[in-house]
Amino acid sequence: MTDQLESETLVAVVTGASAGLGLAIVSRFARSGYYVVMVGRGRSRLETARESLEDKIQSSVLIHACDVTTSSDVEELFREVEARYGRLDVLVNCVGESDRGLLQNLNPERMRQLFEVNVFSALHCTQAALPLLEQTGGVVLNVGSLASKVGARFIGGYAVAKHALAGLTQQFRLELLSRGVHVCLLSPGPIKREDAGSRYSSHLTSELPEQARRPGGGTRVKGLSPDQIASVALTMVQKRQPDRVLPSYLRLLISIGHFWPRLGDWLLLKFTSEAASK
Ligand SMILES: NC(=O)c1ccc[n+]([C@@H]2O[C@H](COP(=O)([O-])OP(=O)(O)OC[C@H]3O[C@@H](n4cnc5c(N)ncnc54)[C@H](OP(=O)(O)O)[C@@H]3O)[C@@H](O)[C@H]2O)c1
């Protein structure tokens, strides 16, 4: 049965929504008046996350447990969105996972997992959401990383997968422009969180320096708050911006690397210079 939406109410689906940046994006969109469908694999994790939101927005947030790397789950997700709301205005592909390690030791199976979670998830969701997004002239926002724009040492297959997501985003944007659907990429640096220094401990091996456990594999960029990134995500959707890097000044470093690759590499090594000392 279709929920009774007020005619102007916009609907957003946010994947990877039960924790971290995804949860901050849910909160930001719901506070600005969207109905939001939160997607994650663990139902109880989603329920706990929903309860952590301000009381006044909880009634406009729906949870849907599914694995977005599985195409049948994804098709079911958008069937439910259509049945329940009859429309979709925004898809935020926030599911993603980083890595630690050296490319010379990267196991192809691990690379496949990283592609599943960082790339195929966005591909499946965008394809399945497209018929609904075309009806509203909607927006797809993909969450990349600085690793979508530059390589860095010690982050295993993460930059490879996030660069693929950047390519997917631009190609979709060009392909869907004439169909009225806008596709954009938000590439934030390391996010401030309590477990920032410990979450990749299980991937660390003896050939990696201590700094590899730090956010971004030792990148010397100040952590961003999830709320700050979520506000930029909302602005990108509202203004149909194509591509943002956070912090914004790093776009200069990225551009320098495009014009002068040697200088770009030198600057990147400077940004991880403590890690370089091992
Ligand atoms: N953390 C950073 O410093 C940082 C920096 C730059 C960019 N990013 C990017 O920002 C995004 C969010 O990162 P985060 O660190 O905030 O995430 P996170 O805290 O690790 O949360 C990941 C979320 O995704 C869900 N999830 C994972 N696999 C899923 C799947 N197959 N299907 C459905 N849901 C799935 C998880 O819930 P379940 O486990 O219950 O499914 C959880 O809600 C990612 O794309 C990441 O690459 C992060």
What is the value of pTM for the model shown? 0.95
Residue 159 Cα to ligand 1 midpoint, Å, equals 15
Question: What average pLDDT does this structure show over 221-232?
Answer: 95
pLDDT at 276: 42
Q: Is the pLDDT of residue 2 over 60?
A: no
Q: Is residue 163 part of a domain?
A: yes
Pocket test for ligand 1, best of 95, 191, 225 (most atoms within 8 A of CB): 95
Mean pLDDT calculated for residue range 220-237: 95
pLDDT attached to residue 210: 74
Share of the chain above pLDDT 90, in %: 82
Q: Could you tell me the distance, in angstroms and rounded to a whole number, from the CA of residue 95 to the centre of ligand 1?
A: 5
Q: Which domain holds residue 84?
A: 11-252
Model confidence pLDDT, tens digit, residues 137-161: 999 999 999 999 999 999 999 999 9
262 part of a folded domain: no
Atom of ligand 1 nearest to the CA of 70: 31
The mean predicted confidence, pLDDT, of the chain is 92
The mean pLDDT value for 191-200 works out to 77
Which residues does ligand 1 sit against, CB inside 6 Å? 15-22, 39-42, 45, 67-69, 94-96, 98, 117, 143, 145, 188, 190-191, 215
- DSSP class per residue in the chain: ------TT--EEEEES-SSHHHHHHHHHHHHTT-EEEEEES-HHHHHHHHHTS-HHHHTTEEEEE--TTSHHHHHHHHHHHHHHHS---EEEE-------B-GGG--HHHHHHHHIIIIIHHHHHHHHHHHHHHHHT-EEEEE--GGGTS--TTBTTHHHHHHHHHHHHHHHHHHHGGGT-EEEEEEE-PBP-TTTTTTTGGG--TTS-GGGGSGGGT---PPBPHHHHHHHHHHHHHHT--EEEESTTHHHHHHHHHH-HHHHHHHHHHHTHHHHT-
Q: Residue 242 above 80 pLDDT? A: yes
In a domain, 259, yes or no: no
Band of residue 275 on the pLDDT scale cut at 50, 70, 90: very low
Q: What is the residue with the minimal CA distance to atom 23 of ligand 1?
A: 16
CATH code of residue 75: 3.40.50.720
Whether the per-residue pLDDT at 272 is higher than 90: the answer is no
Most informative mutation of 94, 113, 119, 213 for ligand 1 (most atoms within 8 A of CB): 94
Q: What is the pLDDT of residue 273?
A: 65
Is 266 within a domain? no
Candidate from 73-87, 114-128, 181-195, 213-227 with smallest mean pLDDT:
213-227
Q: Does 21 map to a domain? A: yes
Query: In the prediction, which pLDDT does 214 show?
Result: 72
87 inside domain: yes
Average pLDDT for 195-220: 73
**Distance between Cα 196 and ligand 1 center (Å):** 13
Does some domain include residue 276?
no
Better-predicted residue by pLDDT, 273 or 186: 186
> How many angstroms does the Cα of residue 91 sit away from the middle of ligand 1?
15
257 in a structural domain: no
Query: How many independent structural domains does the chain possess?
Result: 1
Enumerate the active-site residues.
Answer: 158
Question: What separation in Å is there between the alpha carbon of 55 and the centre of ligand 1?
Answer: 24
